[in-house]
Structure 1
């Protein structure tokens, strides 16, 4: 379930671009069809009452986390269009490091020298990823904007993760359904009806797939697998997301990474795995413990 969920989620960019719709239309219908799938699943599994949060103190957190999530989708999907699925996905995977840094600054969580070392490795990977595209960004400002949007998307996702930590009493599937409903309300006024009328029948297949498959089925697969697996397996499985994104970019649009960008991607993913699993940073030697003195 984890492997399938991660691999499918990596093709979300392909569905959004192939729909041919403006980004706000894509996000609105992802929320509509995603909410339909998740509300139906939650109602069948937990009953309709599970969709109502009785603790009013949680409502602001649910609202903030939902808005951050849908804004993350907007920024990321627009980044796909302005750059490429693979390039934007690499930058987007800086999200674990924003969570670590925000946790240290805002939540006073410890930031060890080892985590700081791996964060530096990740940002070195970002530099290696961007260097081959400097000429493109100078000539085409859309690329530069796309890079910024991918970074913004990763920041919004980190904000979503941090705010949802405080609503652990709400089941993940229910919380995701509420997030989608928030997205429907937020983006309904911005739907471009003219663009919808100009679309073909295949457009609806891509939009329904993005909502039902990438939001409904993928979330169910991931949230069902997380409690059954150790963190090591979950962290390793997360590699399938960028791999699927890069493959879809290459197979459908013929876009590939340079050797330098590939090295950058490896550094970012390796550093993310190290932070998640608590690996020691190899350049920091462990403190030596003095042997006990004989009495």
Structure 2
């Protein structure tokens, strides 16, 4: 593919990743309990994605899904919406930027789960980069050790961000088995599953924020579920892996900028170093960079 052909999908990818990093802002500014936030994200997201599928003439794709695929669709959908629930609650208890940093452990869970349970090879390089990523996690938490001893709410938020990354990894692995279902169709079904799952927990007493509240909630569905998904899934097939891996950096960057500009929160140099290690290790795993084997090979020469 020529460089000019990469420009448009690269811009789409970058925009999608940057927008996704602002989801925490919409969640917090809505002023709603986390169950309500996820419920309305699923509601508005399902409507937008269904409209998109129909606009492209793909309505019949919903009817052509094989019966054997539905259990995996259900499991992947539940994992996705539980991931949203844990992540949005982590935003409330820690900060958007900090929770996003921890959330980027998800590629390493995928590698570990695939290696331990799906028979995929765990190379020394992958294990080495995973160790680098968890060193980064330690660095991000280190300046907050004192707070963790006195603020259990913050500690719970850290745990929820880790749980969110685990459930997103589970979503990724289960959706691999339903590749025949188009991504926009699958995303619509995931939102519908979340809508049904969280309807019993949705509270109406707090829905008194007027138009601004509904604007933030609708934005989560329209922007972060509809527009972001369309941008990303339209860009992915047209881009090489290195560009996709590099584009992932826009997500935490947008989250950290949001924290700084809107809430006046910043991270320490130690936490910044931890973030760099986590993202660098994720990029290395996606691109297959050597670490341990490369150094061993050099030592033999």
Q: What TM-score results when the alignment is normalised by the length of structure 2?
A: 0.94
Contact 1:125/1:263 (8 A) holds in 2: yes
Counterpart check, 1:255 vs 2:258: no
Contact 1:43/1:51 (8 A) holds in 2: no
Counterpart check, 1:277 vs 2:287: yes
Aligned to 1:30: 41
Instruction: After superposition, give the CA deviation of every residue in 1:176-232 in whole Å (9 maximum; x if it has no partner).
Output: 000000011001111110011x32320000000010100000000000000000000
Aligned to 1:18: 29
Secondary structure at the counterpart of residue 193 of structure 1: coil
Aligned to 1:137: 148
Aligned to 2:219: 209
1:53, 1:33 → 2: CA distance?
A: 24
Secondary structure at the counterpart of residue 178 of structure 1: helix
Q: What TM-score results when the alignment is normalised by the length of structure 1?
A: 0.96
1:260, 1:178 → 2: CA distance?
A: 41
Runs of 4+ in 1 over 3 A off after TM superposition: none
Contact 2:132/2:277 (8 A) holds in 1: yes
Quote the offset at 1:68 in angstroms.
Answer: 0.1
Quote the offset at 1:43 in angstroms.
Answer: 1.2
Aligned to 1:230: 240
RMSD over aligned Cα, in angstroms?
A: 1.6
Quote the offset at 1:286 in angstroms.
Answer: 4.5
Instruction: After superposition, give the CA deviation of every residue in 1:108-152 in whole Å (9 maximum; x if it has no partner).
Output: 100100010000000000000001011111111000100000000
Counterpart check, 1:160 vs 2:171: yes
Q: How many residues were matched structurally?
A: 290
- Within a 5 Å distance, the mapping from 1:1-295 to structure 2 comes to 1-196=12-207, 198-281=208-291, 284-287=294-297
Contact 1:43/1:50 (8 A) holds in 2: no
Quote the offset at 1:53 in angstroms.
Answer: 4.2
For structure 1, the residue ranges without an aligned partner over 5 or more in a row are: 291-295
For structure 2, the residue ranges without an aligned partner over 5 or more in a row are: 1-11
Quote the offset at 1:282 in angstroms.
Answer: 5.5
2:289, 2:154 → 1: CA distance?
A: 34
Contact 1:19/1:206 (8 A) holds in 2: yes
Contact 2:124/2:293 (8 A) holds in 1: no
2:58, 2:269 → 1: CA distance?
A: 51
Secondary structure at the counterpart of residue 21 of structure 1: coil
